[in-house]
Amino acid sequence: MTTDPASFASGNVPDLQRKFVQKLATDVARCCAKRLTRGEMELCVREAASGSGWGRFVLGHNYWMLPGRGNAGAFLLVSLRHDAKSVGGVVPVIDKYAKFTDIASALDAWCRRRGK
């Protein structure tokens, strides 16, 4: 199986996206090559891109917005959601997401969540 990170970022994509894919694909290949198939590695990178806005919005190495607690604790994200039944039409919602000490720990959690 080939795990060449450059092969994940093929085609005509913006520079930010290409750099993100190449960096994360390198980390995924280094940490997960023995646990994941090529398709699963690509899914991991796609989900990280979607969850983090191409790496622009990441806290605690959690590119996937994995819920719960990681090896470095957790962070809370407060948002407002529309609710027609509430006064003012919105309610505050607090979500808890995992924080990790490094990308390898975050990737391990992503793999475990998928049963790998």
Sorted by where each begins, the domain ranges of the chain are 5-113
Note whether 9 and 25 are within 8 A (CB).
yes
User: Which residues, including other chains, have CB under 8 Å from residue 110's CB and lie 6 or more apart?
Assistant: 44, 47, 64, 66
Q: Greater confidence, 87 or 108?
A: 108
What is the spatial distance between Cα 50 and Cα 92, in angstroms, rounded to a whole number? 23
Note whether 50 and 58 are within 8 A (CB).
no
- pLDDT exceeds 60 at position 10: no
What is the spatial distance between Cα 85 and Cα 87, in angstroms, rounded to a whole number? 7
pLDDT tens-digit series, residues 37-68: 999 999 999 999 999 999 999 999 999 999 99
Smallest CA-to-CA distance from 1 within 28, 36, 31, 26 is with 36
Smallest CA-to-CA distance from 106 within 11, 41, 31 is with 31
pLDDT tens-digit series, residues 82-92: 988 888 889 99
- pLDDT exceeds 50 at position 13: yes
pTM of the model: 0.78
